[in-house]
């Protein structure tokens, strides 16, 4: 039973660190980028808590109040928030542009706070029922140094920019596009994976020498998920049926110039699958969920050993390939203007009157 309790402790600690992080960060977009991982760990918590409750019940403990608390948390999660985990974090699948944007806006401080509170009540009830579990202590790693780094984080570009990702619509001072074709739907998802990675790598770099292990584990796990989602949307994963057509498949189908570049790399990935298998193993054991067959102690070691510098190189390499392919066709060239600063916007009325903005 202690292993299950320790697993729940790790889940709640991660959720509360994310909660504290999102309270401090001023950049709403980065809050949601990191906040996605809250729902990954909530999923682990919701699936583990009933198992420990059943063991306590079989051991003769009274679990009625605990059962009610778990049911309340399960209902809130399964009825709505599980979709955030499934479509914005663990996967970036066939959900359409507007559905994804709606889920994106549901990653908010109020939701995170009440879900974290409910999870905390579940864990406290467990430690009350069986005192041998020990008392849970809320993590204090968001100290003054870390809090200042989070508070002082500035967007990559302070100027108005063009956004070609799925969620540019939600960013202030951003000119965005709305996809109107299935290839554009997946194109903006791919750009989103690159965009998430750049923001998270930048934050990890600023916290490089700071002591905040749970936050670093959380962001590193998020990078792994974004990298796997990127590969899946670009090329597909070998021996796995993708839920919708990949960008490479659409490039071939619609004869985008440059599809040969993507096709060649997809073939190379299928041939040299060992590295991808290692990435998928970490994703499946420690990132998308805590594998029940792996002890929580070993899961934490896997997270601690993630090298975000190596992941950054993987993202940079894939961006170079994506860039080389996209710049060959006018229909895909638009993705490469993502995050380009805008010098100004000029409005011209029918009578010829001009008005400048920005």
Q: What digits encode the pLDDT tens for the residues 237-258?
A: 877 766 678 999 999 999 999 9
- Please list the residues that pair with 213 across neighbouring strands: none
What distance in Å separates the CA atoms of residue 220 and residue 196, rounded to the nearest whole number? Answer: 12
- Calpha distance 133→99 (Å, rounded): 41
- Residue 157, Ramachandran bin (φ over 0: left; ψ between -120 and 50: alpha; else beta): beta
Dmax over CA atoms of the chain, in Å, equals 82
pLDDT of residue 290: 97
pLDDT at 237: 85
Q: What is the pLDDT of residues 90-123, one digit of tens each?
A: 887 767 888 889 999 999 999 999 999 999 999 9
Residue 345 located in a structural domain: no
Which of 35-39, 88-92, 124-128, 130-134 has the weakest average pLDDT? 88-92
Cβ pair 344, 356 in contact under 8 A: yes
pLDDT bucket at 182, cuts 50 / 70 / 90: very high
Domain range for 327: 2-337
Please state, in angstroms and rounded to a whole number, the distance separating the CA atoms of residues 119 and 115.
6
Residues facing residue 163 across a β-bridge: 176
Q: Is there a contact between 327 and 314 (Cβ–Cβ < 8 Å)?
A: no
More confident residue, 170 or 271: 170
What's residue 347's pLDDT?
66
Q: Above pLDDT 90, what percent of the chain? A: 78
pLDDT of residue 358: 57
Assess contact for 285 and 294: CB atoms under 8 A. yes
What lies within 8 Å, CB to CB, of 213 at 6+ separation is 141, 304
CA–CA separation, 223 and 311 (whole Å): 7
Q: Sorting pLDDT into bands at 50, 70 and 90, what band is 273? A: confident
- Residue 356 predicted with pLDDT over 70: no
Please state, rounded to an integer, the average pLDDT across all residues of the chain.
92
Question: In this predicted structure, what is the pLDDT of residue 102?
Answer: 92
Distance, CA of 77 to CA of 153 (rounded, Å)? 30
Instruction: Provide the pLDDT for residue 85.
Output: 94
The reply to whether 127 falls in a domain is yes
For residue 342, tell me if it sits in a domain.
no
Look at the alpha carbons of 303, 305, 308, 310 in this order and tell me if their dihedral is positive or negative.
negative
User: What pLDDT does residue 155 have?
Assistant: 74
Crossing angle of the two packed helices 28-58 and 182-206, in degrees rounded to 10: 90
Collapsing DSSP states into helix, strand and coil, what is residue 175? strand
**222 versus 238: which is more confidently predicted?**
222
What is the rounded average pLDDT of the residues 205-226? 95
Task: Classify residue 347: in a domain, yes or no.
Answer: no
pLDDT at 357 over 70: no
Return the residue matching tokens 């002890």: 295
> Is residue 351 a part of any domain in this protein?
no
Q: With contact defined as beta carbons under 8 Å apart, do 18 and 34 qualify?
A: yes
CB count within 10 Å of CB 136 equals 17
- 355 has a pLDDT exceeding 70: no
* Alpha-carbon radius of gyration of the chain: 22
Q: pTM for this structure?
A: 0.93
Q: Is residue 358 part of a domain?
A: no
Those residues whose C-beta lies under 8 Å from the C-beta of residue 6, and which sit 6 or more positions away, are: 296, 297
Does residue 342 sit in helix, strand or coil?
A: coil
pLDDT the model gives residue 345 = 67
Indicate the number of domains in the chain: 1
In a domain, 290, yes or no: yes
Token pair in block for residue 99: 């559905």
In a domain, 285, yes or no: yes
Pairing of strands 161-163, 174-176: parallel
Query: Which pLDDT belongs to residue 280?
Result: 94
Q: Measured between alpha carbons, how far is 69 from 119 in angstroms, rounded to an integer?
A: 8
Instruction: Answer yes or no: are the C-beta atoms of 162 and 171 closer than 8 Å.
Output: no
């Amino acid at each position: 039973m202690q292993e299950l309790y320790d697993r729940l402790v790790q889940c709640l600690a991660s959720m509360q660190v994310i909660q504290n992080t999102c309270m401090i960060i001023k950049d709403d977009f980065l809050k949601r980028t990191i906040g996605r991982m809250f729902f990954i760990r909530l999923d682990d918590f919701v699936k583990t808590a009933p198992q420990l409750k059943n063991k306590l019940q079989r051991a003769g403990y009274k679990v009625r109040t605990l059962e009610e608390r778990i049911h309340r948390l399960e209902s809130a999660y399964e009825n709505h928030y599980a979709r955030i985990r499934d479509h914005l974090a663990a996967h970036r699948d066939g959900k359409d542009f507007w559905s994804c944007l709606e889920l994106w806006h549901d990653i908010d401080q109020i939701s995170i706070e009440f879900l974290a509170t409910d999870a905390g009540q579940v864990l406290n009830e467990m430690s009350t029922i069986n005192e041998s579990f020990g008392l849970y202590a809320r993590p204090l790693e968001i100290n003054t140094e870390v809090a200042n780094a989070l508070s002082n984080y500035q967007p990559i570009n302070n100027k108005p920019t063009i956004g070609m990702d799925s969620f540019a619509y939600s960013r202030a001072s951003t000119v965005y596009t709305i996809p109107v074709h299935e290839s554009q739907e997946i194109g903006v998802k791919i750009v989103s994976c690159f965009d998430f990675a750049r923001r998270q790598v930048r934050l990890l770099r600023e916290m490089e020498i700071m002591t905040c292990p749970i936050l670093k584990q959380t962001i590193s796990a998020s990078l792994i998920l974004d990298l796997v989602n990127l590969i899946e949307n670009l090329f597909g994963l070998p021996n796995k049926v993708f839920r919708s057509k990949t960008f490479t498949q659409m490039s071939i189908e619609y004869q985008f110039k440059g599809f040969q570049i993507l096709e060649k790399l997809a073939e190379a990935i299928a041939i040299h699958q060992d590295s991808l298998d290692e990435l998928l193993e970490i994703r499946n054991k420690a990132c998308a969920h805590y594998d029940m067959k792996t002890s929580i102690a070993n899961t934490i070691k896997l997270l601690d050993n993630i090298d975000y510098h190596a992941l950054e190189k993987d993202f940079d390499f894939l961006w170079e390939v994506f860039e080389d392919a996209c710049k060959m066709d006018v229909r895909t060239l638009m993705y490469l203007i993502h995050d380009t600063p805008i010098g100004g916007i000029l409005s011209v009325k029918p009578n010829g009157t001009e008005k400048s903005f920005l």
